[in-house]
Amino acid sequence: MGALRIDAHQHFWRYSATDYGWISDDMHVLRRDFLPPDLAPLLAANGFDGSMAVQARQTLDETNWLLDLADDYPFILGVVGWVNLCSPRVADDLAALTDRRKLVGIRHIVQGEPDDEFLLRPDFCRGVARLEGFGLAYDILIFPGHLPVAVEFARRFPRQRFVLDHLAKPSIRTGELAGWARDLRDLAALDNVSCKLSGMVTEADWSDWTSAGIEPCLDTAMEMFGAERLMIGSDWPVCTLAADYTRTMTLVIDYVGRLSDSERDLVLGLNAQRFWRLEAP
């Protein structure tokens, strides 16, 4: 049996306008349900053994729903859920989830917070400090302007496992990448931070992107993190705004085709398996 192939970043939801107000009119293709039976054939057709389901709503109900899905569908290898890390009850909330073995990480939608230094809030940091004791990683979801703050944040927790979502969403559409690359280098210098090669097609021109236009970002990520700290992710179904599942994943699969077999295996699955300490399906 070859190395596991793992999609390190995807979402599920039952759509409602109330719960998913961020899905704007120009994203109307996302205004429907996206569930495990929709993803399973896409994974299989592209040679992937499983996926990581990542939160899209900041509720404990969604976290438990994703964990229920993971119990019902073995290809969901792990869940990156949400708890209120700012709550004085965060330890109790995490303890209540300890019997859910597929909970492997926590994420907060920091990119949506009005406070640009949200990551450094004392109450938030107190919550993050609890994660290591529960064996949980943390997904960093930010925009490029937040990278300097993320560097200070990650330095505060040298034993905590972090993974940066979507390369911090570089401005591929405009080509303004110099500041992003400079600040990303500082974050990549911290060896407790990994990075997902995900979310790039939706940061490009949805109707007119090319692999060549995105490759500079892949080059930057590879130079800074190396194959040992990168993971492929689809960001499905959000990626469908710009490309179907196969084209989205082929972007990275083709790119890592130039690497050695062992390096390619790391990016396409082994890094995710090790980072989240996943069980084989």
Q: Which residues of the chain have pLDDT under 70?
A: 1
Model pLDDT, residue 119: 98
26 conformational bin, left if phi > 0, alpha if psi -120 to 50, beta if neither: alpha
Between the two ends of the chain, the Cα-to-Cα distance in Å is 12
Q: For residues 157 and 171, what is the distance between their CA atoms, to the nearest angstrom?
A: 28
Angle between helices 178-188 and 211-225 (to 10 degrees): 30
List the domain boundaries for the chain: 6-275
Query: Which pLDDT score is estimated for 53?
Result: 98
In 3-state terms, what secondary structure has residue 118? helix
Q: What is the pLDDT, as a whole number, of residue 34?
A: 98
> Tens of pLDDT along 35-51?
999 999 999 999 999 99
Q: Long-range CB contacts (< 8 A, 24+ apart) of 238-242?
A: 238/11, 238/30, 238/199, 238/202, 239/199, 239/201, 239/202, 240/29, 240/30, 241/27, 241/29, 241/30, 241/201, 241/202, 241/206, 242/201, 242/202, 242/204, 242/205, 242/206, 242/207, 242/209
Q: Is 132 left (phi over 0), alpha (psi -120 to 50) or beta?
A: alpha
In the prediction, which pLDDT does 279 show? 81
In this structure, CATH architecture of domain 6-275? Alpha-Beta Barrel (3.20)
Instruction: Please give the pLDDT value at position 1.
Output: 57
